[in-house]
Amino acid sequence: MSSSTSTDQRQYQFDGPKTPKRTPMACVFCRGRKLKCDGNKPLCSNCDRRGLACSYSPVSPDEKK
């Protein structure tokens, strides 16, 4: 008898409240280049290195079309 039980036994392991990884606010430059922004203010490391003006634009929850 080799019957494999096909019962969907999915064990959801909840270890603590799931907190989505909140990425630090990336500046405009880093976001545009998809760089890892450390979110340093007023200058992030990337902008600081390039001597750029680091600017952070607030993210609007509702994107107007």
Task: With CB under 5 A as the rule, give the number of residues binding Zn ion.
Answer: 8
**Nearest distance, CB of residue 51 and Zn ion, angstroms:** 11
Per CB under 5 A, the segment of 3-11, 13-21, 43-51, 57-65 that binds Zn ion is: 43-51
What is residue 44's DSSP assignment? Answer: -
Cβ(54)–Cβ(43) below 8 Å: yes
Residue 18's Cβ-side half-sphere holds a number of Cα atoms within 13 Å equal to 4
Under the binding rule (CB under 5 A), the answer on residue 47 touching Zn ion is yes
Rounded distance, CA 32 to CA 65, Å? Answer: 20
Per CB under 5 A, the segment of 3-11, 16-24, 36-44, 57-65 that binds Zn ion is: 36-44
